[in-house]
Amino acid sequence: MRSDSVKCGTAQAPHRSLFNALGYTEEERKRPLIGIVCSYNEIVPGHMNLDKIAEAVKMGVAMAGGTPIMFPAIAVCDGIAMGHTGMKYSLVTRDLIADSTECMTLAHGFDGLVCIPNCDKNVPGLLMAAARVNIPTIFVSGGPMLAGRIDGHKTSLSSMFEAVGSVAAGTMTMEKLCEFEEKACPTCGSCSGMYTANSMNCLTEAIGMGLKGNGTVPAVYSERIRLAKHAGMKIMELVEKDIKPRDIMTEDAFMNALIVDMALGCSTNSMLHLPAIAKEAGVDLNLDIANELSAKTPNLCHLAPAGPTYMEDLNEAGGVYAVMNELTKKNLLNLDCMTVSGQTIGENIKNCVNRNPEVIRPVENPYSETGGIAILKGNLAPDSGVVKRSAVVPEMMVHQGPARVFDCEEDAIAAIKGGKIVAGDVVVIRYEGPKGGPGMREMLNPTSAIAGMGLGSSVALITDGRFSGASRGASIGHVSPEAAVGGPIALVKEGDIISINIPENKLDVLVSDEEMAKRKAEWKPVEKPVSGYLARYRELVTSGNRGAVLELPTK
């Protein structure tokens, strides 16, 4: 066992004395040591129940003959961090989570891991760590929040942000806003639509690292506790058979994940996280393939914010496996990929039927014949830009309009709420990329303000930052190269006409090459003073089209 390095032999007598100090018995030391990586805290609603999940996992491990040992991982609540300097510290935690988990795992000689994340950066951060340390690992997440209910309709956190915009527009009263505040987020769990947290948790099933239901069983259901116990038991089987993350997270598995991503209509943030996870697994995931996969993958789900259904509805309809089973009708998935269940994808999904064709459209009747995410390119985004196509209204799929240019999110929000943005405009928010932010802030506040002001079907937003999975509309993010390194988005001037053509995957500014070259020669970057971790992050982070991974600077 890997843990023999910390518990067996004469030289390990001091190590055993420290296990004694922890209260572990000789019987417990002789069993496989299973690290329980738990992201529990008291500031993230999606994580407040993870102590219960961890206890269930520990029981499952013990029942199956292992010794569970818990250690923590940090978590930022994107909702609470949204719209202020706190959002600079969201994406950057993905690497802190991966690094600290690597340190704890290898320092203590664990035989296997059970990862218990839930929200946006914890799932990819722990998947990165799992691929990096490559010991048997399984994921069991905290589960999604139930939808809120207002005036007989389901609602969620994105409705909350849009309600603020409606108040600014004078179309909602403060009394109604208070009602939204009380009812939008009724339980613990990751916010109830197909936002980033739920997208990534669903993709743990698609990529093979989580058991059935990991992405969709609501946080408050007792079924989630049973799932945690089964994950605890299953890790012992993975340890015995030495099935490791890189046996599961193969190139074929990442192709499966991208295809399921397109069918579900996941958050654009998955286009940041999947390449980063793949890099740790030794897989080169070039996002240029995304449009090729999207062209043949039907979009089967319109969960909030794209439509009126929520994670609880997807769960009742059969969950991720039912979506995958639909996709087999077009032979889109590799069914031979191994999973943490000990069985292949094909074996896992073969009896999972679609119980609600209104929630999961059959492949014969999709929302669209193409997937939910598109990669755009053009002279404004030579490397790439990303849009959640499934959440764009038809009239904005092709759009031209004058650029309204802002060098930070706050200035853009002030203009939107101040009534300075009008129908037809294209809001450009730059110097918010991985280096420029630094930290690549999410832009849920401006997209929600646009929607709340009634401009969601007539105003586009383009940024080198990124969007919350809760954003909807013609919101194009991850524009690369970013402004901070002199990308074309840095050269756009107020009033330039920007052309968006999502069906043709194009994003251009209608300015001549000669004029752009002249602007580039005169360009001076906007400097944002930072210190501490953000300063180190800015030096190491790569562009959004590469997953904003960290790399040592070349000499």
> Any bridge partners for residue 463, and if so which?
429
Q: Which residues contact 17 (CB under 8 A, 6 or more apart)?
A: none
* Residue 283, token pair as written in the block: 């897989």
- Continuous segment of H or E residues that includes residue 60: helix 50-63
Q: How far apart are CA 446 and CA 443, in angstroms?
A: 6
Nearest of 228, 8, 2, 209 to residue 112 by alpha carbon: 2
Question: Which conformational region is residue 203 in: left (phi greater than 0), alpha (psi within -120 to 50 degrees), or beta?
Answer: alpha
Question: Which conformational region is residue 232 in: left (phi greater than 0), alpha (psi within -120 to 50 degrees), or beta?
Answer: alpha
Return the sign of the alpha-carbon dihedral for residues 235, 236, 237, 242: positive
List, as one string, the DSSP characters of 94-147.
Answer: HHHHHHHHHHHHHHHT-SEEEEE--STTHHHHHHHHHHHH-S-EEE----BPPP
Q: How far apart are CA 192 and CA 154, in angstroms?
A: 10
> Any bridge partners for residue 462, and if so which?
428, 476
> Any bridge partners for residue 67, and if so which?
33
Residue 468 known to be catalytic: yes
DSSP 414: H
Q: How far apart are CA 508 and CA 499, in angstroms?
A: 5
* Residue 540, token pair as written in the block: 């190491």
Q: Which of 100, 468, 471, 480 is catalytic?
A: 468
Residue 309 DSSP SS3: strand
Where in the sequence numbering do the catalytic residues fall?
Answer: 468
